[in-house]
Amino acid sequence: MLEARRLSLARQSRQLFSDVSFSLEPGHALLLQGRNGAGKTSMLRILAGLARPDEGQICWNGTAISQSDNYLQSLLYLGHHAAVNTELSPTENLRYLSALHDDDSASIDDILCAVGLAGYEDVPAGQLSAGQQRRIALSRLWLSNSPLWILDEPLTALDVKAVAGLERRFKQHLDDGGMLIVTTHQPAILPESVTQRLELAALDPEADS
């Protein structure tokens, strides 16, 4: 279970959010919503432990994430940048990423086929389209068995078919008791019954004009 307690963050003298609390049970998804610049990415980075909030605490199964010894093992974070090196092929990229996160690298070829990158396994990622690069990064959702996924705009540059595949994967993950925290402007891909919504509203009154 992931629990956020009274998180606050200010950037460049602007309060992005304050006193945000929520808890996420296995099998549930959290949809972060808000305008551009509302602090969605900052919130996800804080939840992943990459940044620190000004105030507040995040607990994983009752222990603060900085002290928890299995938080990083349980976490799959896909950030704003895809972590895909443009000089390396999809297979080489995934080999490295799966080694970093102790995922099973034996099934990389099958997964690349499944996400529609068959025939591109040995092409440097820099020669692929933005959507194909995004697919490389998202392949980790099939490689990994981490229970907690934190995804920052996973649908960027994806086509309709890829979005449908992702929707099925999300549903399967939640049915298996996984947890999902996601920012997206297409909330329809999350199963309604198990999705909580968290609206990050900019607190700066001038920004609302």
Instruction: Give contact residues for other proteins (rule: CB under 8 A).
Output: 48-52, 72-73, 75, 77, 79-88, 92, 95-97, 99-102, 105, 124
Which one, 53 or 178, has the nearer CB to other proteins?
A: 53
CB of residue 25 vs other proteins: minimum separation in angstroms?
Answer: 23
Q: How many CB atoms lie within 10 A of CB 206?
A: 7
| List of residues 6+ apart from 133 with CB closer than 8 A | 82, 84, 86, 125, 157
Which one, 88 or 194, has the nearer CB to other proteins?
A: 88
Which one, 133 or 190, has the nearer CB to other proteins?
A: 133
| List of residues 6+ apart from 190 with CB closer than 8 A | 29, 31, 170, 180, 182
CB of residue 82 vs other proteins: minimum separation in angstroms?
Answer: 6
Which one, 11 or 168, has the nearer CB to other proteins?
A: 11
CB of residue 178 vs other proteins: minimum separation in angstroms?
Answer: 17
What are 109's two structure tokens? 């070829």
Which one, 46 or 190, has the nearer CB to other proteins?
A: 46
CA distance 41 to 186: 16
Which residue, chain included where needed, has tokens 């001038």?
206
Report CA dihedral (32, 33, 37, 43) to the nearest 10 degrees: -10
Which residue, chain included where needed, has tokens 């980075």?
45
3-state secondary structure of 21: strand
CB of residue 206 vs other proteins: minimum separation in angstroms?
Answer: 26
CB of residue 87 vs other proteins: minimum separation in angstroms?
Answer: 4
The amino acid at residue 65 is I
